[in-house]
A and B are shown apart, each in its own frame.
Chain A
Amino acid sequence: MDFGLSKTEELFLQMIREFAEKEVKPLAAEVDEDERFPLETVEKMAKIGLMGIPIPAKYGGVGGTNQMYGMAVEELSRVCGTTGVILSAHTSLCCAPILESGTEEQKMKYLPKLASGEWIGAFGLTEPNAGTDAAMQQTTAVLDGGDHYIINGSKIFITNAIYAHVYVIFAMTDKSLGNKGITAFIIEKGTPGFSIGKKEKKMGIRGSATTELIFEDCRVPKENMLGQIGKGFGIAMKTLDGGRIGIAAQALGIAQGAMDETIRYTKERKQFGRSISQFQNTQFQLAELETKVQAARMLVRSASYKKDNGIPYSVDAAMAKLFGAETAMEVTTKAVQLHGGYGYTREYPVERMMRDAKITEIYEGTSEVQKMVIAAKLLK
């Protein structure tokens, strides 16, 4: 693995940093405060191709690497965790499964509009009684005649849901088979019987619209089945492997953002006649945190590198997410501490960053789940 950036990646970083700084950062506090989905930012991202980074040019994407996609999520999250997850859920959780498991017709139908950002994507696996235990799906899909499925049930906590046009969802086509009875479907906005339910009020990433999906005798053409019947659970797990790189990058970005703020603040804030950055406690804390942030970055880069090069990366992604999320939580908590009382107010972005960081330990597999994935490989 090459630890340096390629010239192309350097050029990309130059662009994405400027974009994040000028277009995303100025909205971050407001998006959080008003729980507002930043649609205008999505439009701007779409215009320059950010909504289709790892999608091949043949399907209307950019044909970039997963490394670049991870860097995009990182740099966006560095200034706004909400914007980072919007891109991550769209790319990793909706575009990727269609690209990896879709038929040629499905790819041609959905990917160009998703990659161009004309459509936003979402992913519906979690249910009220199927969280970590995702195999406990209660949503059902029953064949009706020869060419339609009727879907009934509901999904909760679905990112991007209100603004999405395409949803990759999972349902039981045969309950008696357990997780081998789960099948994936592509649902389009506006399908009769499909609606959006209540919106969650959240601690962090408050601009990302998180809602219920409701299916009431929702009739879906058979062509919308994604992958083979009964293969849905595998598709979900594979999708989450990739998604974890996105969330690890989000966590890394939030941690880096909190470092940026704290380094600046501790140099400016004076107590006892000198800047607080001159206290050894401050210096040692910053040194430790920076070391962890760099280590988290190496894990994300290494997982992306493996994915780009066709090397199994599932455990790498789990480690990147586990360590990235814990680092984000630690860095943001200590960032608030180093800001003192000011850090506890919404005048300073570290307060938001600490709230945003917490979710990275929960979604796309809790930290406990990542440990299960890592241990399972070790003890195999």
Chain B
Amino acid sequence: MNIIVCIKQVPDTTEVKINPQTGTLIREGVPSIMNPDDKGGLEFALQLKDKFNAHVTVITMGLPQADAILREALAMGVDRAILLTDRKLGGADTLATSNAIAGALRTLEYDLVVAGRQAIDGDTAQVGPQIAEHLDIPQVSYLEDIDFDGNKTFTLRKQTDDGYQVLQMDAPCLVTVLASAVKPRYMNMRGIVEAYQREVEVWGADRIDVAEDKIGKAGSPTSVMKAFPKSLKPAGATFEVSAEEAVDIIVEKLKERHII
């Protein structure tokens, strides 16, 4: 079984600051980490490696410094690491990002593609599902658990708003994973010692199977008009009351604030 995990390097902060002039993230001084949901996905992949001897590849699209999260993945136990980096890929929105990654995946063998649910910086939760669409493979998002029959069928538990669903899906397919679903393993010492002796494959845009106008700035239909920090919403109040009482409380609150 071949598993490919898509990982993204993100700034380690819940308080992302944005440059008001350019509307882009200020990354200086903020340590970079592997996106937490992706680390969860990587853990599931490594568990499948432990159980079924799966071959696990990680791929990231990013700047050369994204090498750090690939080394971390190697130290956690993956077999192969690919860094997709090229000026032609710069300025990508989610569509161009997913097109580029799908382009790389077309040149690789896979039974399972794993992505995080969402990146803590971009936060769109779009890239994973888009990759599945580009590759025309089935997908299950918001994964909490995964098992494999040893042949070609995965049994998956998916988180939903009010509980969970248990689903089955045949390879090749894609899942997106929640960080909260699983505790990722630590890098192991042998892996750490060897991480920088092993190879990280560096791929340019010419190495992937996708049309030039689908990647980078050219392949990005969205552009950022304005970026601003979200103001924190105050915590809401919860009342466990009957519908009639609820109406009274709501009307009261609206009056209090001179809304009605």
List the interface of chain A (C-beta within 8 A of B): 6-8, 11-12, 14-15, 18-19, 47-50, 52-53, 57, 62-64
Interface residues of B, dominant DSSP: helix
- Which of A14, A18, A50 interacts with B189 by CB under 8 Å? A50
What residues on A are CB-neighbors of B188 within 8 Å? 47-49
B72: interface (CB < 8 Å): yes
Whether the Cβ atoms of A11 and B189 lie closer than 8 Å is no
Interface size on B, residues (CB 8 A): 14
- Which of B185, B186, B195 interacts with A8 by CB under 8 Å? B195
Whether the Cβ atoms of B186 and A62 lie closer than 8 Å is no
A12 to B186, CA, bound (A): 10
Whether the Cβ atoms of B72 and A53 lie closer than 8 Å is no
Q: Can you list 9 A-B contacts with CB-CB less than 8 angstroms, sorted by A residue number?
A: A7-B196, A8-B193, A8-B196, A11-B192, A15-B187, A48-B188, A50-B189, A53-B189, A63-B190
Once A8-B195, A11-B72 are accepted as A-B contacts, the answer to whether A57 and B190 lie under 8 Å apart by CB is yes
- Which of A19, A52, A57 interacts with B186 by CB under 8 Å? A19
A348 to B137, CA, bound (A): 55
What residues on A are CB-neighbors of B175 within 8 Å? none
A57 to B189, CA, bound (A): 11
User: What are the 5 closest A-B residue pairs judged by CB atoms, nearest first?
Assistant: A49-B189, A62-B189, A15-B187, A48-B188, A48-B186
Whether the Cβ atoms of A15 and B186 lie closer than 8 Å is yes
CB < 8 Å A-B pair total: 46
What residues on A are CB-neighbors of B89 within 8 Å? none
List the interface of chain B (C-beta within 8 A of A): 68, 71-72, 75, 185-190, 192-193, 195-196
A57 to B193, CA, bound (A): 11
Whether the Cβ atoms of B193 and A7 lie closer than 8 Å is no
Interface residues of A, dominant DSSP: helix
A6 to B187, CA, bound (A): 17
Whether the Cβ atoms of A11 and B75 lie closer than 8 Å is yes
In chain B, what residue has the closest Cβ to A65? B193
- In the assembled complex, the CB of A60 is this many whole angstroms from the nearest CB of chain B, namely 10
In chain B, what residue has the closest Cβ to A12? B192
- In the assembled complex, the CB of A124 is this many whole angstroms from the nearest CB of chain B, namely 27
A49 to B191, CA, bound (A): 9
Whether the Cβ atoms of A18 and B71 lie closer than 8 Å is no
What residues on A are CB-neighbors of B189 within 8 Å? 12, 48-50, 52-53, 62, 64
Whether the Cβ atoms of B75 and A15 lie closer than 8 Å is yes
- In the assembled complex, the CB of A72 is this many whole angstroms from the nearest CB of chain B, namely 9
What residues on A are CB-neighbors of B185 within 8 Å? 48
What residues on B are CB-neighbors of A64 within 8 Å? 189, 192-193
What residues on A are CB-neighbors of B196 within 8 Å? 6-8, 11
- In the assembled complex, the CB of B197 is this many whole angstroms from the nearest CB of chain A, namely 9
- In the assembled complex, the CB of B189 is this many whole angstroms from the nearest CB of chain A, namely 3
A49 to B196, CA, bound (A): 17
In chain B, what residue has the closest Cβ to A23? B186
